[in-house]
Structure 1
Amino acid sequence: MVTLEVAVATIGAGLAIGGAGLGSGIGQGIAAAAAAGATAEDPEFFGRGLVFTVIPETQVIYGLVIAILILSGVGLL
């Protein structure tokens, strides 16, 4: 039998990952579009554009850490 605390913690962990993934995907799409446009104008911008495209991906890592902390706090991990 699943307790209410475990159910709420599981939903919270899912929201942490889902929200972080959604925000990261939107940010990465915007950054990638801008980097592609800048690279089309000046090919030397490719390296910097790639770095700026990858930076929003760190949000997912933070969401994963929060989800792990939530799940380990209720004893699921």
Structure 2
Amino acid sequence: MYYYISRRREAKNIPRKRVGALEVPLATHLLSGTVQDLNDVRSGAHEVMEQNRELSKEVEQLQKELLAETTARS
């Protein structure tokens, strides 16, 4: 994170003294946003996994029904 802030300072030619007081709050804000984003992604991934499980069960049921129909017609 420090590297990121340092590189931004260099890119904008902002003197260290002016930015120094903002470094910790900025880094904390960026990290908390990143953690929240990761939590959102994790939460979304759990929802997708649950939907995938439900769909897999439906597919298995449909396969069983199709097999039963195919066997009955033979």
Alignment TM-score, normalising by the size of structure 2: 0.51
Q: What do residues 49-74 of structure 1 show as CA deviations (whole Å, max 9, x unaligned)?
A: xxxxxxxxxxxxxxxxxxxxxxxxxx
Pairing 1:22–2:26 present: no
Q: Distance in 1 between matches of 2:63 and 2:45?
A: 26
Residue 17 of structure 1 and its aligned partner are, at CA, apart by: 1.2
- Runs of 4+ deviating beyond 3 Å: none
Unaligned runs of 5+ in 1: 44-77
Residue of structure 1 aligned with 2:66, choices 33, 38, 42: 42
- Structure number, greater radius of gyration: 2
**1:5 corresponds to which residue?**
29
Total equivalences in the alignment? 43
Tell me which of the two structures has the higher relative contact order, counting C-alpha pairs closer than 8 angstroms and 6 or more residues apart.
1
Alpha carbon RMSD of aligned pairs, Å?
Answer: 1.6
Unaligned runs of 5+ in 2: 3-23, 68-74
Aligned partners of 1:40, 1:21: CA distance in 2, in Å?
Answer: 29
Aligned residues with identical type, % of pairs: 7
> What TM-score do you get using the length of structure 1 for normalisation?
0.49
